Amino acid sequence: MISYGVLVLALAHAILAKVSPNFSDCLGQFYASRPPVGFDSSLTPICQMYETYNNPFFATLYHKRNRYGLYSAYILDTRPGDNVGGDQTFRLEPQLVDTRLPKQMSLQPATETAIRNLGLSGTPAEIIKQAQAINSDYTGSNYHKGHLNANADHPDGPGQKATYTLTNVAPMYGTLNSGAWRNNEKRVRDIAATCGRMYVITGVVPGNNWISVNGVQRINIPSHVWSAFCCLNNNNQPIRAEGSLAPNNANTIQTGLSIASLQSQLKSLMGTTVTLFYNNCT
């Protein structure tokens, strides 16, 4: 009999969808080309691809069991305010099912067709549900699909549309998502306008509760949401770094945290020591 631990490890290696375990195809999304350290090494790194564009738009560390990104990392476009394009239908990541499937995020009907064409055994919709969340999981849940890589952190176009993947969202308390968290995203965009370049990492802390569908646990509900930025001048030297942390059950948020303070709080919440930016962006 295969043990649960061996099975999880096998699945983790089977779904390394688009990159090596070190985000080798999208290291440019991280400050100093160094991804965070200290997170669970069995999780799946994704370089997020969109349509026919060959460049990855951002990076996500995907938690298959919880069915969301533990964090997304990206470069924020230097522009102030809130500039949101039209809402999109959230897409899926076909290679979380099988690495022979297309690398670009796709709508569910297209993903199901690709699964059939590949000849995988089983019902395509059920195969997809084993690997990731689907849009209907959130229906009636009272939680928003909270962006990690915020759509408004990019110009209207492919960069913004690429954020509409279910691997880039997690269940977020609606009042927080529309209130204090959104206001903080605007604040950070205003700061980004003063930077030569800004690197952002936004993630969640897994919680104890779940969105269930027909009695089946589908998506873990995070206990907290966090974000950190590293601001560089035009000579690529760090000039400012801050973190934010919010409980995912109220419209409150801590802002202006030092990176060290945010990491300390994440250690208390997750029980592991993480380093978000190389040298804490100093």
| Sign of CA pseudo-dihedral 73, 75, 77, 80 | positive
If DSSP codes are grouped into helix, strand and coil, which group holds residue 174? helix
Are 240 and 259 in contact by the 8 Å Cβ rule? The answer is no
Residue 12: its pLDDT value, please?
34
pLDDT of residue 124 exceeding 60, the answer is yes
Instruction: Give, in order, the Cα–Cα distances in Å from 139 to each of 109, 143, 146, 175.
Output: 18, 9, 14, 17
If DSSP codes are grouped into helix, strand and coil, which group holds residue 260? helix
61 compared with 7, residue with greater pLDDT: 61
Q: What would the mean pLDDT of 74-79 be, rounded to a whole number?
A: 85
Report the distance separating Cα 16 and Cα 72, nearest Å: 16
Q: What would the mean pLDDT of 20-41 be, rounded to a whole number?
A: 91
By percentage, how much of the chain surpasses pLDDT 90?
81
Report the distance separating Cα 189 and Cα 53, nearest Å: 25
Report the distance separating Cα 246 and Cα 202, nearest Å: 12
**Which fold would CATH assign to domain 4-281?**
Extracellular Endonuclease; Chain A (3.40.570)
pLDDT of residue 7 exceeding 80, the answer is no
Are 97 and 127 in contact by the 8 Å Cβ rule? The answer is yes
pLDDT of residue 4 exceeding 90, the answer is no
Residue type, 143: Y
Instruction: Give, in order, the Cα–Cα distances in Å from 278 to each of 26, 58, 241, 266, 271.
Output: 16, 18, 12, 17, 20
Residue type, 102: P
Report the distance separating Cα 274 and Cα 160, nearest Å: 28
Instruction: Give, in order, the Cα–Cα distances in Å from 124 to each of 4, 12, 98, 102, 127.
Output: 24, 20, 12, 15, 5
Residue 205: its pLDDT value, please?
98
If DSSP codes are grouped into helix, strand and coil, which group holds residue 60? strand
Residue 87: its pLDDT value, please?
76
Residue 78: its pLDDT value, please?
66
Are 251 and 223 in contact by the 8 Å Cβ rule? The answer is no
Residue 41: its pLDDT value, please?
86
Q: What would the mean pLDDT of 116-140 be, rounded to a whole number?
A: 96
pLDDT of residue 192 exceeding 80, the answer is yes
pTM for this entry: 0.90
If DSSP codes are grouped into helix, strand and coil, which group holds residue 15? coil
